[in-house]
Amino acid sequence: MTKVTFIGAGSAVFAFEIITDLLLTPALEEGVFGLVDIDAERLELAHRIAEKVIALTGRKWRVEASTDRTKILPGTNYLLNTIEVAGLPNVRHDFDIPMKYGVNQCIGDTIGPGGIFKALRTLPAWIDILHDTERLAPDALVMNYTNPMSLTCLTGVRASTLPIVGLCHSIPNTAEQLAGYLGVPFNELKFRAAGVNHLSWIVELTRNGEDMYPLLREKMQDPAIYEQDPVRFEMMLHLGAFVTESSGHTSEYTPYFRKRPDLIAKYMRAEYLGETGFYAANWPTWRKESDEWITRMLAGQEEVPLERGPEYASYIVEAMETDVPAAIYANVPNTGLVTNLPQDGIVEVRCLVNRDGVQPTHFGKLPTQLAALDAMHMAVHDLVATSVLEGDRDAACHALMLDPLTAAVCSPAEIRQMFEEMAQAEAPYLPDWMRV
């Protein structure tokens, strides 16, 4: 019987979405959902909404839930990681301290000061989860949804023998956005993409064999279209390809757009289009609102949406259980897949899935200018993973030194001072070797 276990199930909206997807997958008539979270109240919310959706769909699934993962892991075929480690107490530190030094972040969860310190808090717990999984569910496929995506996958692959795949919706979502900008049906677009998570590139974009990039460059001249994605249109215009994460994310992953007040005023827009401190200002409220939404559905005050969504997890389980192939984009070790990116890192490429698991496909060479930007990120990833696996505090600081935006704004001495201030503020939530 198929068992799907969620670690971090207290992010109940996400668990609800994937559980709904699985229950609406035709071939998956019965199975077990394992729910694990250290927050008992949020775990109970996830447990109750899972039971409700099972009842509404009439499927023969059952739920096991515990704050102790060792009670749930045995028998797991698929493990979904959605943990958030000490996010609430540190979301302001991750933004406010870098801002003092002029490092202006919008989201701060992938690299940059916010992403690096999120990783330093998260990865030790992640390694412990993987070691327990090796012992109690050695045949499980691990699907990671936690950011920083590449860093979490890279550290996991280096620390564990388990197969790990990182899942993110940014590539298909971007392709769908491009169809909207172009005014063409999404199912008529053909695209090819690769890179690193949140900084992958749609290097080919065609319709009926015709290159769509000339038309996209025309469309961006329309202010109504340009204003929906200013940073990404600028990147496309000057670097030759559309990047696969929002303008707000992209603005903080590169050295170009957030290093001076005049550039921020010129290119940044509200919310995910680059708003200063958008994540730090809103994430605690979003967390509360998501719990309230689940509570209203449980109380019958709001209809429970029963629709299979686009997240890849249910399609992977379906393909592996039925041997009906699926194609996805995923974050996997670079075993010669992208030839001009570091071969010991994690890349985002197209993968095929069937009963033999997730099988990455060869991409080849990215245009040099795009590969160079990705390689900067992969150097940060390597240093953070090394710091966590070896308890190397200097490697963590060196990672921040190489962050593209931080390096564009600060001197090495300022970066070290910022690092020490963040380490002191977040000390209760960091590993011992970071508190020296």
Domain of 99, CATH number, reads 3.90.1820.10
User: 150 and 226 share a domain?
Assistant: no
pLDDT score at 312? 97
13 lies in the same domain as 141: yes
Short-list 366, 369, 368, 367, CA closest to 348: 366
CATH number (domain holding residue 139): 3.40.50.720
Q: What is the DSSP letter of 186?
A: G
Please give the distance of CA 193 from its chain centroid, rounded to a whole number. Answer: 17
Q: Of 132, 166, 200, which residue constitutes the final position of a domain?
A: 166
* Residues 391, 270 share a domain: yes
Give catalytic status of residue 249 as yes or no. no
DSSP 10-67: TSHHHHHHHHHHHHT-TT--EEEEEEE-S-HHHHHHHHHHHHHHHHHHT-EEEEEEES
| Cβ-based neighbours of 302, under 8 Å, separated by 6 or more | 293, 296
Phi, psi of 74 (to 5 degrees): -55, 135
Q: Which residue has the tokens 């936690």?
A: 146
**pLDDT (0 to 100) of residue 12:** 72
Query: Does a structural domain hold residue 118?
Result: yes
- Mark whether 17 and 116 lie in a shared domain: yes
* Same domain membership, residue 247 and residue 174: yes
Annotated active-site residue in 169, 198, 377, 381:
169
Last residue of a domain, which of 166, 196, 215?
166
Q: What is the CA radius of gyration of the chain?
A: 21
Residue 303 within a domain: no
Residue 304 lies inside a defined structural domain of this protein: no
Write the CB contacts of 424 (distance below 8 Å, at least 6 apart in sequence). none
Within a domain: 249: yes
CB 385 within 8 A of CB 158: yes
Residue 199 lies in a domain: yes
Domain end marker among 137, 166, 195: 166
Cis bond upstream, residue 148 (ω within 30):
yes
9 φ, ψ (degrees, to nearest 5): -65, -15
Residues 161 and 263 in one domain: no
Assess whether 98 and 129 both reside in one domain: no
pTM, entire model: 0.97
Considering the domain boundaries, does residue 305 fall inside one?
no
137 and 251 in a single domain? The answer is: no
Per residue of the chain (436 residues), give pLDDT as tens.
999 999 999 987 889 999 999 999 999 999 999 999 999 999 999 999 999 999 999 999 999 999 999 999 999 999 999 999 999 999 999 999 999 999 999 999 999 999 999 999 999 999 999 999 999 999 999 999 999 999 999 999 999 999 999 999 999 999 999 999 999 999 999 999 999 999 999 999 999 999 999 999 999 999 999 999 999 999 999 999 999 999 999 999 999 999 999 999 999 999 999 999 999 999 999 999 999 999 999 999 999 999 999 999 999 999 999 999 999 999 999 999 999 999 999 999 999 999 999 999 999 999 999 999 999 999 999 999 999 999 999 999 999 999 999 999 999 999 999 999 999 999 999 999 998 7
In a domain? residue 389: yes
| 316 burial via Cβ count (<10 Å: 0-12, 13-18, 19+) | buried
SS3 125: helix
Domain identity same for 161 and 189: no
Q: 178 with 73, same domain?
A: no
Domain with 406, as residue range(s), is: 89-108+168-276+314-436
Beta strands per DSSP E along 346-391: 346-354, 357-360
Are residue 127 and residue 96 in the same domain, yes or no? no
Residue 297 lies in a domain: no
User: How many domains does the structure of the chain reveal?
Assistant: 2
* Same-domain check for residues 150 and 192: no
